[in-house]
Structure 1
Amino acid sequence: MTTAPPRPRRITLADFHAAAREILPADAYDYLEGGAADERTVRWNTEAYERLALLPRVLTGTAGVDTRRTLYGTELASPVLLAPTASHGLFHPEAEAATVRGAAAAGALTTVSTFSTLTVEEIGAAATGPWWFQLYVQRDRALTADLVRRAREAGATACVITVDTPVTGLRERDLRNGFALPSHGTPANLAGVAAPADQGTAEQGLAPQPPHHGIHDPRIDPTIGWSDLAWLRTVSGLPVLAKGIVRPDDARRAAEAGIGVWMSNHGGRNLDTAIAPLTMLPAVADAVAGRVPVVVDGGIRRGTDVVKALALGADAVAIGRPYVWGLAADGADGVTAALRALRRETELALALLGAPDVASLTPDLVRPAW
């Protein structure tokens, strides 16, 4: 009797990506991987890191490295957060419960989506580590306030408001697949909340989109403004971050209001040809001037990417697709393993750069590669 050869060890995020692609149904994989239109921004997000080279210091006497980072009073094992991603039930039967357990085992912080498969109460009960709540502001402000209250009472310690999605981008993979969320992927936090007519696009002179979540959710309010962020700070009683900022003027305004800055282009899923956040990071960091934390996501695939972002001014980075690859491959253990792989690479990059800790990462360590 012959035995199957042992499975190669998964030691990089690319290994988890390959496993997820093999495991997931084609439409779920496309929902996870797809971007808007020609997906140029998806590519630019990763290419922005590839275009930068590192200039290591030598003879620094560094014997060990420390990847810890503290955000809003919470100490984390590394400066890598889990960005909000919807509908984890598409990728693993235990959904967000597996995600928060896996993140906690790696000493990481999870940002839970409004459109999670499990309720914030179920996720809070499963969580053994810190987590934030990502909010899509709803047309119904009472519902919005209730979502934030529920998340806070369930254990969320900050509120991340997505500000770059007045409407959802042209996700052509989903349109071609006729993608719709199955029952195990529908957003539990909005169960029983009737979706209004799809007027979010019509109000802006756009043709209505298909009515299922994953393309457009008409409950999201396309008219939110800066005053809504101030209102949410009051309602939530939590630190608030605005996710989707890429311009220095917007970052400055957020910092002046005490709103944390989360640089993002929604993983390339909304406006195709939107700029990669890393490209604008130095200018945004200058505009913020240390008044609030700066988080950046989009395109991070290696520990060298993490140190480049921190050297250019980020306080932390966030990953989305990569931890979902781990979730799909091996549930909570896969999330932990993916995060630990990225942390190992970050530690090695720090040591080889001559930086004893993440606070020692400075802009002079980064240059254009060509």
Structure 2
Amino acid sequence: MTLTLDNALSIADLRELARRTLPRFVFEFIDGGAEDEITLAANRSAFERVALVPRVLNDVSTPDLSTPLLGTRSSAPLLIAPMGSCTFARPGADLSIAKAAAARGIPYVQSTMSTTSLETIARHADGRLWFQLYTLKDRDFTRKLIDRVRGADFEALVVTVDLAVGGKRERDLRNGIAIPLKPRVSHVLDALRHPGWAMRYARNGSPQFENVRDLDPGDGAGLTIAHKVGKMLDAAFSFDDLARLRDQWGRRIVVKGVQHPADAARLASLGIDAIWVSNHGGRQLDGAQSSLESLHALHRALGAGVELIIDSGVRRGVDIVKAVALGAQAAAIARPALFGAAVGGDEGALRVIDILLDEAQRAMVLCGTPTVDAIRSGDVIAATRPRDQD
């Protein structure tokens, strides 16, 4: 049977469809990680090493995935993590994913480096919108960007703090990925083997970083996207700067990219609304601890009083259950959502979320946990924790 969007059963199926749909250099930009991709692999294997111990003889006839998240009820402990350059995969991909999130009642987090403007997302996606902020060297520009986000009535600001410099993504370097794309003969030949992508790209042109269009970081031959972002980043940004930014914003604030318990404790003391445990999907520091291992460590250090969000490695609905059982308020996905949007636009993005929510609900029923709170309190994680004992 030919694999299609309609008969795709898993995120792995959608990843395979995206691999077939996209030129190799585009697919590898989405799929790849930094250097030897050790952390990229660790993010996935950490979930695979966690065992569930189901409970029985509980009433699971009406399972309920809904849970509070940043003070508002969410339909599930799932959200969309920020992604830059999505329209490189398919024009309108950002908006497709945002609309799919709204349709299923989960938050969508837009990236500073999105290739769709925050105002466009706010106009056309009627759901919970959060904005991910990279702190930039031009602090006046950062302040103006925050004012734009507030003006568009985004609910929360997600400040990313794990990217003081862009990671070394060797697949991108070898493939010559840059925005705007500087075409090579290999790009042209690859694009011709994927005519759907090529026609959409030719019709819409090279994507631009719409939220930072007025910020000129300079340019140079062969700059990868990661390096281009890195030229803008404020490596001097500190806890004191974060406190001032929090006061300027004045609404819900999340700090993303936290892995060390001491950093998490200090953020909690600042009154941060939620801490987002992440290693940037294995795309920056290769050799960093898996996000799931960090989640377990932070939850042990902080207890239940601090909301924790996790990303990196979530590929099954059961991974959401595992993350919640280990202390997460919610888990976030990025690559899976973009795989779906790349293959099928609005329909593809929605398909990804539906697969994960169906799997998550099935897993919670089979675990004997009728609610998300029951997952947290149901003792369904085996004694073996994410890190193997050598």
Provide the C-alpha distance between the structure 2 equivalents of 1:5 and 1:55, rounded to a whole number of angstroms.
Answer: 36
Matched position secondary structure for 1:52 = coil
Provide the C-alpha distance between the structure 2 equivalents of 1:114 and 1:166, rounded to a whole number of angstroms.
Answer: 15
- Identical pairs, percent: 38
Matched position secondary structure for 1:362 = helix
1:33 corresponds to 2:28:
no
1:214 corresponds to 2:226:
yes
- The C-alpha deviation readout for 1:116-157, integer Å capped at 9, x for no partner, is 111111111111111100000011111101111111211311
Gaps of 5+ in 2: 181-204
Matched position secondary structure for 1:184 = coil
TM-score, normalising length: structure 2: 0.87
2:347 to 326, 330, 333: 333
Alignment of 1:1-370 (within 5 A): 7=4, 9-182=7-180, 184-195=206-217, 211-217=223-229, 218-259=231-272, 260-362=274-376, 364-367=379-382, 368=384
Gaps of 5+ in 1: 199-208
Q: Which residue of 1 aligns with 2:192?
A: none
Provide the C-alpha distance between the structure 2 equivalents of 1:22 and 1:67, rounded to a whole number of angstroms.
Answer: 33
> Residues 87, 197 of structure 1: CA spacing in aligned structure 2 closer, same or farther, 3 A cutoff?
closer
Provide the C-alpha distance between the structure 1 equivalents of 2:102 and 2:80, rounded to a whole number of angstroms.
Answer: 11
- The C-alpha deviation readout for 1:98-125, integer Å capped at 9, x for no partner, is 2211211122211000001111111111
Is the 8 Å Cα contact of residues 68 and 79 (structure 1) preserved in structure 2?
yes
Provide the C-alpha distance between the structure 1 equivalents of 2:3 and 2:109, rounded to a whole number of angstroms.
Answer: 35
> Residues 41, 6 of structure 1: CA spacing in aligned structure 2 closer, same or farther, 3 A cutoff?
closer
> Residues 97, 61 of structure 1: CA spacing in aligned structure 2 closer, same or farther, 3 A cutoff?
closer
Matched position secondary structure for 1:361 = helix
Matched position secondary structure for 2:233 = coil
Is the 8 Å Cα contact of residues 87 and 117 (structure 1) preserved in structure 2?
yes
Matched position secondary structure for 1:290 = helix
Provide the C-alpha distance between the structure 1 equivalents of 2:151 and 2:117, rounded to a whole number of angstroms.
Answer: 12
Is the 8 Å Cα contact of residues 178 and 223 (structure 2) preserved in structure 1?
no
Q: CA deviation at 1:288?
A: 2.7
Q: Which moved more, 1:262-271 or 1:238-247?
A: 238-247
Provide the C-alpha distance between the structure 2 equivalents of 1:282 and 1:120, rounded to a whole number of angstroms.
Answer: 33
**AA paired with 2:97?**
T
**AA paired with 1:255?**
A
Q: CA deviation at 1:5?
A: 6.7
- The C-alpha deviation readout for 1:44-86, integer Å capped at 9, x for no partner, is 0000010111000111132221001221233221111100010
Q: Which moved more, 1:214-223 or 1:117-126?
A: 214-223
Is the 8 Å Cα contact of residues 93 and 338 (structure 2) preserved in structure 1?
no
> Residues 233, 62 of structure 1: CA spacing in aligned structure 2 closer, same or farther, 3 A cutoff?
same
> Residues 58, 331 of structure 1: CA spacing in aligned structure 2 closer, same or farther, 3 A cutoff?
same
Provide the C-alpha distance between the structure 1 equivalents of 2:151 and 2:224, rounded to a whole number of angstroms.
Answer: 29
Q: CA deviation at 1:291?
A: 3.4
> Residues 46, 144 of structure 1: CA spacing in aligned structure 2 closer, same or farther, 3 A cutoff?
same
Is the 8 Å Cα contact of residues 156 and 251 (structure 2) preserved in structure 1?
yes
Q: CA deviation at 1:214?
A: 3.0
- The C-alpha deviation readout for 1:274-331, integer Å capped at 9, x for no partner, is 0001112222013333333100111011111111110011101101101111110111
Provide the C-alpha distance between the structure 2 equivalents of 1:155 and 1:90, rounded to a whole number of angstroms.
Answer: 27
Provide the C-alpha distance between the structure 1 equivalents of 2:176 and 2:242, rounded to a whole number of angstroms.
Answer: 35
Query: How large is the RMSD of aligned CA atoms in angstroms?
Result: 1.9
Is the 8 Å Cα contact of residues 70 and 252 (structure 2) preserved in structure 1?
yes
Provide the C-alpha distance between the structure 2 equivalents of 1:12 and 1:62, rounded to a whole number of angstroms.
Answer: 24
Is the 8 Å Cα contact of residues 113 and 209 (structure 2) preserved in structure 1?
yes
